[in-house]
Amino acid sequence: MQICRTVSDIRAAVARFRAAGEGVGLVTTMGALHDGHMALVSEARGAHDRVVATIFVNPTQFGEAADLENYPRTEARDLEMLEAAGVDAVLIPEVSEIYPEGDETIVETTRLANILHGAVRPGHFRGVTTVVAKLFNICQPDAAYFGEKDFQQLHVIKRMVRDLHMPLNIRGVPTVREADGLAMSSRNVRLTPEDRAAAPVLSRALDAAQTSGAGRVEDLARIIRETIATEPRATLKGLDIVWLSDFSPATGRLTAPVGIMISAEFGRGDNHVLLIDQREVHP
């Protein structure tokens, strides 16, 4: 596996693949890899001659400085995992490589970025689309792979690619879960043992809504609130139910597929950890 620290090195690696007539799949990450990331790599591995990965903790998508500072960094282990999974080249750039001195260009999906999770985390999705657009331009893949867990992120990226006519496919990959249902996330390692034991309440709430047979969106929301309320360590921060067709808020009778997105905080003060989960419910 070739380890590239600069844009020109990864471009040269991809150019060699292309010169040999090989297709390229891309997996972008912020490191602290877990089985969820490896599922993306494995999908890409199965579909392309070459797989390129990126590890970059993107400062522009973090709101609080503490969140950025506390973000886990496990480079040596990440590289071993990527190599073992058959990744051909990895880009691990410094911040100044991606955001050179004087950088002033942003990419934003103006509506989708600022609703739902985006309304709670101003600027977050703008940071994501800006860095992902840069990484697409740098690596020029045929397809890029994103987890369905970050449901709004996946839709935001699909919209950006469509609107800007970017020449690649975006593939969503189902969420990988721990045995107790907790969605895998790099943030899980920051949970105290007590909060870790409490965290599966998110997937339990989504399961309860999905299997309830509820015919109205308001009933799905009630079931989720009631389930989360059974866990005193969890504070529900966001609950959004949208029509999958256009991501507009869903209300009334469940006449078409909806996406449910929840976020909840575990722990208190500087040690709090915000976790998210998501589910599609079809009528």
Q: Which residues are catalytic?
A: 37
Part of the chain binding ligand PAF (CB under 6 A), chosen from 25-33, 166-174, 213-221, 238-246 = 25-33
Q: How far is the CB of 153 from ligand PAF (least distance, A)?
A: 6
- CA distance linking residue 261 with residue 206, whole number of Å: 9
Cβ(216)–Cβ(254) below 8 Å = yes
24, 41, 48, 58: which one binds ligand PAF (CB under 6 A):
58
For strands 2-4 and 234-243, give the pairing. Answer: unpaired
Part of the chain binding ligand PAF (CB under 6 A), chosen from 8-16, 71-79, 128-136, 226-234 = 128-136
Laid out side by side, the sheet with 143-147 consists of 2-4, 89-91, 50-55, 24-29, 143-147, 169-173
Tokens of 15: 């150019």
CA atoms in the 13 A half-sphere facing the CB of 184: 18
Q: How many residues does the chain have?
A: 283
Is 38 annotated in some ligand binding site? Answer: no
Q: Which is nearer to ligand PAF, 55 or 258 (CB)?
A: 55
Q: Which is nearer to ligand PAF, 19 or 96 (CB)?
A: 96
Is 63 annotated in some ligand binding site? Answer: no
**Per CB under 6 A, does 28 bind ligand PAF?**
yes
150, 195, 240, 277: which one binds ligand PAF (CB under 6 A):
150
String of DSSP letters for 197-243: HHTTHHHHHHHHHHHS---BHHHHHHHHHHHHHT-TTEEEEEEEEEE
- CA distance linking residue 126 with residue 109, whole number of Å: 7
**Per CB under 6 A, does 131 bind ligand PAF?**
yes
Is 97 annotated in some ligand binding site? Answer: no
Interface with ligand PAF: number of residues (CB under 6 A): 10
Q: Which is nearer to ligand PAF, 58 or 227 (CB)?
A: 58
7, 132, 228, 273: which one binds ligand PAF (CB under 6 A):
132
Part of the chain binding ligand PAF (CB under 6 A), chosen from 6-14, 38-46, 68-76, 125-133 = 125-133
Label residues 4-13 b or e (16+ Cβ within 10 Å = b): beebebbbeb
85, 128, 161, 276: which one binds ligand PAF (CB under 6 A):
128
Residues 30-49 that bind ligand PAF (CB under 6 A): 30
Label residues 251-277 b or e (16+ Cβ within 10 Å = b): eeebeeebbbbbbbbbbeeeeebbbbb
Q: How far is the CB of 58 from ligand PAF (least distance, A)?
A: 4
Residues belonging to the binding site for ATP are 30-37, 147-150, 176, 184-187
Residues belonging to the binding site for (R)-pantoate are 61, 153
Q: Using CB under 6 A, list all residues that contact ligand PAF.
A: 28-30, 58, 61, 128, 131-132, 150, 153
